[in-house]
Amino acid sequence: EVQLLESGGGLVQPGGSLRLSCAASGFDFSRFGMNWVRQAPGKGLEWVSGISGGGSSTNYADYADSVKGRFIMSRDNSNNTSSLEMNSLRVEDTAIYYCAKALLYGGIDYWGQGILVTVSS
């Protein structure tokens, strides 16, 4: 059974940093890309970042007011974990953050339960 368990969320002040982790189990972790998707309160889904199975390729949302240049996604295939380092956090980064496993050719087939990040003074 595929399981994705996020940790590291919480309350942080604007301008602060936070590191989210995702512990994966139940599948051959290094074969599949991983993603982070967020959802602000009462809003829709927003893709944040993705990393290839081997970790050599990483992509980030780069539309206006997005995360590129502030967030860093990484993975440790020896420990079946994925991480999202979030810096220079803004109030508008407040959201539930989901760790999500990619299908082999794209799309997302499994999601974690989500973890809340609140950016507030």
Partner 1 sequence: DIQMTQSPSSLSASVGDRVTITCRASQVISNYLAWYQQKPGKAPKLLIYAAFTLQSGVPSRFSGSGSGSDFTLTISSLQPEDVATYYCQKYNIAPWTFGQGTKVELK
Residues at the site binding partner 1, with contacts judged by CB under 8 A: 35, 37, 44-47, 50, 59-63, 98, 103, 105-114
**Residue 107 burial (10 A CB sphere; 0-12, 13-18, 19+):** exposed
Looking at residue 27, its amino acid is: F
Q: How many CB atoms lie within 10 A of CB 73?
A: 22
For residue 114, the minimal CB distance to partner 1 (Å) is 6
Between 32 and 60, CB nearer to partner 1: 60
Between 4 and 15, CB nearer to partner 1: 4
Looking at residue 116, its amino acid is: L
For residue 27, the minimal CB distance to partner 1 (Å) is 14
